[in-house]
Structure 1
Amino acid sequence: MHTDASLVVAFLNTVDIERGDDLLDDPDLWRRWAEDYGVAPNDLVETRTARDSLRAAVGDPRLPARPLDLPLRFSLTDAGPALVTTDAVAAVLAAATRLAIRGDWVRLKICPADDCLWAFYDESRNRSRTWCSMRVCGNREKARSWRARAAAVHN
């Protein structure tokens, strides 16, 4: 069972900036991704629009913020109210909506490293995590900052 956060992050990361790969460029890979998450694949254009809109909303600096207006279905069952998700985009949007309702939307972030831009879910207590990985992107940025400060002192 995937959590709301893991589903949204996995969807946001169907594009890998560092490697230059976009899963949505290959219909078979997209279909397999959707099957792995137990949902039907959407049309690739609709999927890319939803993904790019969500990535922009989370903070991807390459993408312009733009509204996304897609219908979601609601159902009242014996277990209570539920958003009906019959396809991948609806499942991701329902998960994002539940994160927003719980106040966890702000925990979805994009790594600020220009060569990374990986989406991640900030599980830190005070929601202050900046980098997707402190060992990789955070360490690289700290080393860059240190070198810049050291060069400024020696000039």
Structure 2
Amino acid sequence: MNARSPAPGGLELVESLVNTLDLESGADALDTPDGRAGLGLREDEVPAAKELRESLRAALLAHAGHPPHRTVTPLTELLAAAPLRLTVDPADGSAALTAADPRPLTSRVAAAVAESLVAGTWTRLKACEAADCHWAYYDRSPAGRGRWCSMQVCGARAKMRRYRAK
């Protein structure tokens, strides 16, 4: 959808998952073998991945100051079932929170969210304000007030609609 650079750290996984569905065209990468392979998913994991994707989208819309447009399972409920493991490196004492089972997508997403909370980047991952887009993007603007995945596409469309409404 846009040419932004990917989100930092584990948030790239979250961004990739949310962006598997193109709302404008209806194309869903999770319905294809290549799309599933990109996230390390088996076909039987797709329904849970789609539920997780929409809960994440709702959280990213909230980061941008917008209420979700549809009812979804709260992200808290989905991530509560994700087993995580705290590891401490004996050599330097550094600690990391990782998925206890690296296969389940929910655990990898929970670890990514936890990592981003510590890094202070979680609320910078947002969903585009455009109702026909809601593409996930990492807001790198200095004030953290980005509204669209792309100023050249969604931002320009919104500004044109406001101009024409006048």
TM-score (norm: length of structure 1): 0.80
Counterpart of 2:150, as a letter, is S
Q: Is the 8 A contact 2:18 2:57 kept in 1?
A: yes
For residues 44 and 62 of structure 1, the distance between their equivalents in structure 2, rounded to whole angstroms, comes to 22
User: Given the alignment, which residue of 43, 67, 71 partners 2:82?
Assistant: 71
Q: What is the Cα-based RMSD across aligned positions, in Å?
A: 2.2
- Structure 1 runs (4+) deviating above 4 angstroms are none
Cα deviation, 1:62-100, whole Å, max 9, x if unaligned, reads 332523232222132425333135123322221122112
Matches within 5 A, 1:47-58: 47-58=49-60
User: Residue 74 of structure 1: SS of its match in structure 2?
Assistant: strand
| Structure 1 residue 53, shift from structure 2 partner | 1.2
| Structure 1 residue 44, shift from structure 2 partner | 1.2
Matched with 1:118 is: 135
Structure 2: segments with no counterpart, 5+ residues:
1-7, 62-66
Matches within 5 A, 1:1-150: 3-26=9-32, 28-35=33-40, 41=42, 43-59=45-61, 61-65=68-72, 66=74, 67-68=77-78, 69-78=80-89, 79-84=94-99, 86-87=102-103, 88-149=105-166
* Greater shift in the superposed pair: 51-60 or 109-118: 51-60
State the structure with more CA Rg. Answer: 1
Number of equivalences: 143
TM-score (norm: length of structure 2): 0.75
Q: Sequence identity of aligned pairs in percent? A: 34
For residues 63 and 22 of structure 1, the distance between their equivalents in structure 2, rounded to whole angstroms, comes to 18
